[in-house]
Amino acid sequence: DEVHPVLLDMLENHSVIYRPHITLAELEIAIQETTILIVRTKLYISASWMAKATKLRVIGRLGSGMDNIDTDYAEEHKIICFNAPEGNRNAVAEQTVGMMLSLLANINKGHKEILNGIWDRKGNEGVELANLCVGIIGYGNVGRVLAAKLVSFGCKVIAYDLYTSGFGSENVQEVGLKEIQDQADILSLHVPLNKASEAMIDKQFIDIMKKPFYLLNLSRGKVCVLADIIGGLESNKIRGVALDVLPNELLEALSENEKKELAYLGGNNGVILTPHIGGLTKDSFQELAKVLGNKIVNWMGNHPLVNPK
């Protein structure tokens, strides 16, 4: 993967090997001498890769999630892992608001109908965000920025986080998961992918939701069970869905069942799909590089490295 030039500038006083199109065979050799490894999304840094990198001390992830790094192995072997969620949190929050408003205003449905010769004003009557309750699951970098943006719309904002507490304020109510399920008209997911969050939004969760609701997932695809999301759409328990992520994003490698699920979602006027671009803007591309660059430079300031001659 390519990185923004600002990152290379920040590391110009150090020995840097920049190989955005490196092959796996070439990487197997290069990683043996690597002290700091910077990756984006294409490569999974497994235990076997780290075992080859006997000099590796730091892995930098140009993004927010760490699910393409075996962090358990890294921690066990005292390899420091940095990510840069501060760099794209605004981008994800902005896309979330955009997708939310699109769902409420039936923009996708109306667009498709016009292309098919249908001009239906009444059938595309929308719902105003100001009168709804938005439940945010995951109150980290993105969740906090999203909540701040939503407040200006006048809607009620409630939030739950498994790992953080004491964040409630005048404008954002900190609640438990049950309160989210009881009150939310809109459910927006902003959680890391781990054992606690994988398949969190399943049939049981959907059935517990007190009201029909809109669902947005801009975290990781495996947080939702697609078959159960489809079931919720068919039963009208889910009023609309916006997905920036899928459980399997390699479209050329989908199973037959995954193809059927994607076809259903693509054909449903109440569904908006985007190709994992929530955190990908021209602005965030540079900001991610700055954030990660600063973390690595600061680490090196406390842990001087000897550049190979």
Give the model confidence (pLDDT) of 77-136 as tens digits: 999 999 999 999 999 999 999 999 999 999 999 999 999 999 999 999 999 999 999 999
- Pair 197, 131 in one domain: yes
**Are 43 and 57 in a shared domain?**
yes
Secondary structure letter of residue 32 according to DSSP: G
Is the residue at 225 inside a domain?
Answer: yes
Percent of the chain having pLDDT more than 70? Answer: 98
Instruction: Report the domain count for the chain.
Output: 2
Q: Which domain holds residue 103?
A: 89-273
Chain segment 125-171, per-residue pLDDT in tens: 999 999 999 999 999 999 999 999 999 999 999 999 999 999 999 99
Regarding whether 245 and 170 lie in a shared domain, the answer is yes
Q: What percent of the chain has pLDDT over 90?
A: 91
Range 194-200, long-range pairs (CB < 8 A, 24+ positions): 194/67, 196/162, 197/223, 198/222, 198/223, 199/223, 199/224, 199/225, 200/137, 200/224
Instruction: Say how far apart CA 247 and CA 226 lie, in whole Å.
Output: 8
* pLDDT number for residue 307: 43
Q: Specify whether 269 is located in the same domain as 171.
A: yes
pTM exceeds cut of 0.85 = yes
Residue reference for tokens 């479209």: 251
In a domain, 309, yes or no: no
Give the Cβ contact number of residue 53 at 10 Å: 21
